[in-house]
Structure 1
Amino acid sequence: MILTKDLEAYLTELLAPEKIKDFTPNGLQIQGSETITKIVTGVTASQALIERAIEEKAQAILVHHGYFWKNESYVIRGMKHKRIKSLLMNDINLFAYHLPLDIHPTLGNNAQLAAMFNIEQVAPLELGNSMSVAMQGSFSSAINGSDFATQLSQQLNRQCLHITPPSNKKITTIAWCSGGGQGYIEMAAEQGIDAFLTGEVSEQTTHIAHEMDIHFFAAGHHATERYGIKALGEHIAKTHNVEVIFIDIDNPV
């Protein structure tokens, strides 16, 4: 068992949300039980995840995508009302960490992707910015773009989109940003990096990849952000006397 206030303090110290400007509040978003014996983790605080947490009799949900995003309506009705009502009626705490979880050097989404695909010499893509939400690194030996796309699809369990540049060069250097980071492709190309990996793709991304001669891989927003929250939950289970269950609510996007 852990006190909710103690878990919040630990997560604040671990993830340091005050150090990065975000689009949503990070930390305890919905207050519930004062004590926690079971935590459910997942990518997004959807109704489906909440219902699974209720079934598990969890006192807390810990996610990457929570509520109260910048520019969304302040009104609590419809879908938002149902979600929050479910949490309040079942006395479930909701913790959410967005960019702080993307960038954490060991538990973060970007760090987990680097470890999964054996990316070495990891450094910020935004030069001089230790809080960069996009990273860069290299492979120990060059890899074909098509082979890497296959590896992504197999390991992330999602069909990866691969935009091949005119040169179809082998990949030694790569930049990446979990989730919706397709806007960083130009920055990667300008630094002469061979490939860029993220979760989503935009219409203009194809033209940028072709005209700036850089491989582009979109492997799914959900799929590229599945592993940070899972790693965070496993870390909490090891460091605290609390049960943690990761529940992956399938999302093809």
Structure 2
Amino acid sequence: MAQLQDILQWCDQTLLSSEFKDYAPNGLQIEGKADVKKIVCAVTASLDAIDAAIEAQADLLLVHHGYFWKGEPAPITGMRGARIKKLIQHDISLVGYHLPLDAHPSLGNNAAIAELLEFENIQALNPNDRHPIGNIGYLKQAVSAEAFKQQLSDVFNREIIHLPSTTEKIQKIGFCTGAAQDFITQAAEQGCDAYISGEVSERTFYEARELNVHYFACGHHATERYGVQRLAQALSKQFDVETIYYEQDNPI
């Protein structure tokens, strides 16, 4: 068993959460019981994830996508109200880490997919970023776009959207998980052959063609499964707590 405040302090220090300007609060979003024996982690704090935490008798729900996003209406009503009401009724804390969990060099989403895809020589996509949330990696040897698309499909277990360029071989690759499709411009500036993210926009089709960078959309959820699992595993080692990952496969 661990204390909620000890878990929060460790996470904040490990992820350097205070050093990020983010779109939602990082750390504790809804406070539950002080003692934590079991943590359920999930990509997003959906109602199904909350129900899974309740069923598991968890004390804390750890997510990448929590609540209180910038620009959201303030009233806690409707769908969001129903979610928050359930958490409070069952005394379950909601803890979310967004950009700090993308950027962490070993626990983060980008670090995880770099390992899964066996990238080498990892660098910042934007050399001026203190804590880069986008990166560049290199394949051991150059491959065709079709071969790389198949590798991505195998790793992420879904159909990959590929917006092609004229570059025949791919080796230098920019990547950032989630909804970071607009970083394709930075990838082009850094001379990348291809760029990977989770989502894709209508404008990305033209950008890939005109910037001559292969773009691969691998799924927002699919590319961000890993950070919460790695953080939960680290918490399990650091504290005497049980952790469970709840997978709600989202095709987006």
Asked if these proteins are the same fold (TM beyond 0.5), I'd say yes
8 A contact 2:33–2:91 mirrored in 1: yes
Counterpart of 2:204 in 1: which secondary structure?
helix
Counterpart of 2:40 in 1: which secondary structure?
strand
1:231-253: CA deviation from partner (whole Å, max 9, x where unpaired):
11111112211000011111110
2:246 is the alignment partner of 1:247: yes
For 1:146 and 1:73, the matched residues in 2 are separated by 44
Tell me what 2:90 maps to.
90
Q: CA deviation at 1:129?
A: 1.4
The number of aligned residues is 252
Unaligned runs of 5+ in 2: none
For 1:196 and 1:202, the matched residues in 2 are separated by 14
CA RMSD of aligned residues (A): 0.8
For 2:147 and 2:242, the matched residues in 1 are separated by 38
2:31 is the alignment partner of 1:50: no
Tell me what 1:120 maps to.
120
1:41-90: CA deviation from partner (whole Å, max 9, x where unpaired):
00000000000100000000000000000000001101011000000000
Counterpart of 2:129 in 1: which secondary structure?
coil
Tell me what 2:32 maps to.
32
8 A contact 1:179–1:198 mirrored in 2: yes
2:223 is the alignment partner of 1:224: yes
8 A contact 2:167–2:193 mirrored in 1: no
Tell me what 1:185 maps to.
184
Q: Which runs of 4+ in 1 moved over 3 A?
A: none
Q: CA deviation at 1:142?
A: 0.5
Tell me what 1:133 maps to.
133
TM-score under structure 2 normalisation? 0.98
What are the within-5 Å matches in structure 2 for residues 202-241 of structure 1?
202-241=201-240
For 2:202 and 2:128, the matched residues in 1 are separated by 30
For 1:179 and 1:82, the matched residues in 2 are separated by 26
8 A contact 2:61–2:94 mirrored in 1: yes
TM-score under structure 1 normalisation? 0.98
Counterpart of 2:203 in 1: which secondary structure?
helix
What are the within-5 Å matches in structure 2 for residues 7-86 of structure 1?
7-86=7-86
Unaligned runs of 5+ in 1: none
